[in-house]
C-alpha cells in the first residue's frame, strides 16, 4: 500500500493507494498531523509514502513519520516521469510537479493543460513528448473575495457564490458576479489560447474549487478532484521501480 500526503495551503489530504487504485482518502487540518498519518500507516499497513508540502509542516513531524515508514519528500531533485524545462526548477511548486506527473501518467503522448483551482489558480502545460515548460499562476476564488474586502473600505467579505446573474443588482451580487464571471472568463480564455497553439489539447480541471467551476466553463474538460493525489502516487511508484 502506498501512502500519499498532500500538505496544501489550507488543509492536508491523506490518501492510500493499492497500486494505482485509490482506496481511501481524507482531509484534515495540521493540528493532529503526525497522529493521523501514523494511524493511517498502521490501519492500511502502508510500506511506502510520499509527501508534497507547500504548507508549514515541521521537520520534527516529518522525522517522526520517517521512523515509521520509507518516505520520499518531493522536491526539485526527486526523480520524475517528465522533462522539467522550467527555467527556475527549484522554485517550481511540488503541487505543480505532482499535477504534471498525473498528466503524463494518465494521458501519455498527449498535449495536456492542467488547471488547479485552489488557493491560487495554476495552469501547467506538458506536451505530447512529456516536456514541461511551465504555465501561469493567478489568484484563486477566496483570494479575490478577500482582496476586495482588504483593499477597499466598504466592500464586505463574502463567501463564494457562483450561482449568480451576470448583472448584479446589489453590491453583494455585483461582487459575486465580478468574481464568478471574471474567473470563468479567464479560464475559458486561457484554454482557448492554448488550443490555438496546440492541437488535440486535453484539459484537466482539479483542486478544491472544482465544484464551483466544472459545470460552468464553456470548454470541454476532465474534472478530477483527486488528480494531484494520483500524480503523487505515480511519482512514488516511478521511484520504486
Give the pLDDT band of residue 104 (cuts 50, 70, 90).
very high
The cell for 68 is 515509521
CATH superfamily of 1-73: ATPase, nucleotide binding domain (3.30.420.40)
Among 3-12, 26-35, 145-154, the range with the most confident prediction by mean pLDDT is 145-154
For residue 3, what pLDDT band results from cuts at 50, 70 and 90?
A: very high
Q: Is 95 a catalytic residue?
A: yes
Which residue in this structure is represented by grid cell 520524475? 80
Annotated binding residues for ATP, written as ranges, equal 6-13, 119
| pLDDT confidence of residue 227 | 96
State the pLDDT at residue 8: 80
Helix, strand, coil share (%) of the chain residues, nearest 5: 40, 25, 35
Domains of the chain, residue spans: 1-73, 75-241
Q: What is the pLDDT of residues 209-229, one digit of tens each?
A: 888 888 888 887 999 999 999
pTM for the structure as a whole: 0.92
Q: What is the mean pLDDT of the chain?
A: 93
Q: Indicate whether 9 pLDDT > 80.
A: no
**C-alpha torsion sign, points 227, 229, 233, 239:** positive
pLDDT of residue 199: 83
Cell of 82: 517528465
Side by side, the strands of the sheet bearing 201-206 are: 83-84, 131-139, 120-126, 111-117, 201-206, 222-223
From 31, 42, 95, 200, the catalytic residue = 95
State the binding site for K(+): 116
Identical fold between 1-73 and 75-241: yes
**What percent of the chain has pLDDT above 70?**
99
Q: How confident is the model at residue 162 (pLDDT cuts 50, 70, 90)?
A: confident
Q: How confident is the model at residue 201 (pLDDT cuts 50, 70, 90)?
A: very high
Question: Looking at the predicted structure, is the pLDDT value of residue 140 above 80?
Answer: yes
Cα dist from 77 to 23, 58, 149, 189, whole Å = 29, 20, 40, 34
- Give me the architecture of the 75-241 domain, per CATH: 2-Layer Sandwich (3.30)
3-state secondary structure 70-92: EEEECCCCCCCCCEECCCCHHHC
Q: pLDDT per residue over 69-99, tens digit each?
A: 999 999 999 999 999 999 999 999 999 999 9
For 41-69, what is each residue's pLDDT tens digit?
Answer: 999 999 999 999 886 788 899 999 999 99
Q: What are the binding residues?
A: 6-13, 86, 93-96, 116, 119, 171
Amino acid at each position: 500500500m502506498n501512502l500519499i500526503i498532500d500538505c496544501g495551503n489550507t488543509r492536508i489530504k491523506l490518501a492510500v493507494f493499492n497500486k494505482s487504485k485509490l482506496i481511501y482518502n481524507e482531509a484534515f487540518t495540521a493540528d493532529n498531523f503526525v497522529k493521523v498519518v501514523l494511524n493511517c500507516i498502521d490501519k492500511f499497513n502502508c510500506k511506502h509514502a510520499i509527501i508534497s508540502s507547500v504548507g508549514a509542516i515541521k521537520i520534527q513531524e516529518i522525522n517522526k513519520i520517517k521512523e515509521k515508514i520509507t518516505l520520499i519528500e518531493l522536491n526539485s531533485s526527486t526523480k520524475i516521469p517528465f522533462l522539467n524545462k522550467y527555467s527556475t526548477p527549484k522554485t517550481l511548486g511540488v503541487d505543480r510537479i505532482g499535477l504534471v506527473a498525473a498528466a503524463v501518467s494518465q494521458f501519455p503522448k498527449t498535449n495536456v493543460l492542467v488547471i488547479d483551482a485552489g488557493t491560487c489558480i495554476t495552469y501547467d502545460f506538458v506536451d505530447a513528448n512529456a516536456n514541461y515548460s511551465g504555465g501561469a499562476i493567478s489568484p484563486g476564488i477566496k483570494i479575490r473575495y478577500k482582496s476586495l474586502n482588504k483593499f477597499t473600505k466598504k466592500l464586505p467579505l463574502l463567501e463564494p457564490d457562483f450561482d449568480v446573474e451576470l448583472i448584479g443588482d446589489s453590491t453583494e451580487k455585483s461582487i459575486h458576479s465580478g468574481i464568478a464571471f471574471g474567473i470563468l472568463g479567464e479560464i475559458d480564455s486561457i484554454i482557448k489560447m492554448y488550443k490555438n497553439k496546440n492541437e488535440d489539447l486535453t484539459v484537466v480541471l482539479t483542486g478544491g474549487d472544482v465544484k464551483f467551476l466544472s459545470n460552468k466553463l464553456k470548454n470541454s474538460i476532465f474534472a478530477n478532484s483527486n488528480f494531484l493525489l494520483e500524480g503523487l502516487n505515480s511519482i512514488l511508484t516511478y521511484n520504486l521501480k
